[in-house]
Amino acid sequence: MRDLYRPLDEGIVRRSLEDWKRLWHEDPSRWVKELRDRPARYDRALWRRAFRSWWNEIPREESDLPLQGVPVAVKDLFDVAGDVTGCSSRVLLEALSPGPARRDAPLVQRLREKGAFLAGRTQMNEFAYGLDGKNASQGDCPHPLDSNLIPGGSSSGSAWAVAAGIVPVALGSDTGGSIRVPAALCGLWGFRQGWKKEELQGVFPLAASFDTVGWFCAGPRDMQFLLKELLPSGDGSGKNEGPSPGAVRFFSYTPREVVLDETVRRAREDWEKNLSEGPSPVMVEALPDAWRIRLDAVMEHALDAYNVICSREAWLCHEPWLDLHRDYYDPLVWALIDRGRHWSETRVSRAREVISEVVQVVEEISAAGDGLLLPSVATPTPDGASLGQEYRETTLRLNMAGSLTGFPALAVPLHTGGIRSCGVHLLVPPGSEGVFQTVLDALAPRERRLRR
Q: Which positions are annotated as active-site residues?
A: 75, 154, 178
Burial of 296 (0-12, 13-18, 19+ CB in 10 A): middle
Neighbouring C-beta atoms of residue 1, cutoff 10 Å = 10
Q: CA 377 to CA 185: how far, in whole Å? A: 8
User: H-type helices in 319-388, by residue range?
Assistant: 331-338, 345-368
The closest alpha carbon to 190, from 207, 169, 210, 176, belongs to 169
Provide the phi-psi class of 115: left if phi over 0, else alpha when psi is between -120 and 50, else beta. left
Neighbouring C-beta atoms of residue 29, cutoff 10 Å = 8
Q: CA 445 to CA 452: how far, in whole Å? A: 14
Structural contact between residues 121 and 83, judged by C-beta atoms closer than 8 angstroms? yes
Identity of residue 134: K
SS (H, E, C) 183-214: HHHHCCEEEECCCCHHHHCCECCCCCCCCEEE
The closest alpha carbon to 201, from 215, 213, 219, belongs to 213
